[in-house]
Amino acid sequence: MPAYRAPEQADKTVIARHIAEGVAILAERLRRLPRAYPHWHRFDPAAYFDLHPSQVDAMVRIEALGATLDVTIYADLLSPAFRRAERFWAREFCPAYFAAGKKDAFDAHFWQRILPAMQRRLQEARAEIALAGELLFGRGDVTFLAVSAASDERASHQHRIPDDEALLTLYQDLPTLTLRRSYDILEMIGPAASTRHR
C-alpha cells in the first residue's frame, strides 16, 4: 500500500516522516480493530491492515489464546534501511559468517569487508527507525504511544543478551517501532457470536 512506502533514497527526514506516517496508520488500525473484528466471518489481516499477504507473513503475528487475541506488528520493516540490512544479513552476512573461521581468505573477507558492511547497514537502520520514533513520540501520537511495544519487546528478548553491561545498555537503547495490543475476543464479538470467529 502506498501509505506504507517510504522512499529508498531521499532526505533522511522525509524517509522518517513516511515511516512514521505508516506506523501511525497501523497503530490506528490496531485501535479500531475491536469495532471492525465482529464484521469479519474469518479475520483477514491482509485486507484489514491493507498489506500484501507476503507482508502479513513478515510483519503481523496474531495469536489467540483462549479468549485473548494478541496482535503484534513488526513495523520496523517499513524502514527501507532495515529491509536493506535484513537482505544483506541473509544474502551476504550469514554465508560469509559460516564460511569464515579458519584464518583463511574467507575469514579475512568476513572481518575486513562483510562485518563492517553489516555494521554500517545496522547503524543506518537504527538511525532511520530512531528518527521515525522520535517523530511519533515528539508529536505525542497517543494512538502510537498506546500500542508501542518497545519495552515489551526488549523485556521478552533480554534473556538472550550475554551478561555484559555495555551490551545490555546498547540493547536497551535500540529503537523499535513494534506495535502490540491484546484484545478480549468475547468482548469484541459479543456473546452471541463467540463460536463464529475461532
Q: Which of 89, 4, 12, 97 is nearest to 51 (CA)?
A: 4
Beta strand 68-73 with 60-65 is: antiparallel
Query: Coil, helix or strand for 164?
Result: coil
CA atoms within 13 Å, Cβ hemisphere of 182: 7
| Residue 75 contacts residue 179 (beta carbons within 8 Å) | yes
What cell does 70 get? 494478541
Alpha helix locations (H) across the chain?
Answer: 12-36, 45-49, 53-59, 80-88, 94-99, 105-109, 115-138, 142-147, 150-157, 165-173, 185-189
User: What would the pLDDT profile of 50-89 be if each residue is shown by its tens digit?
Assistant: 998 888 999 999 998 888 999 999 999 999 999 999 999 9
- Residues above pLDDT 90, as percent of the chain: 43
For residue 120, pLDDT beyond 50: yes
Query: Coil, helix or strand for 81?
Result: helix
> Does this model's pTM top 0.85?
no
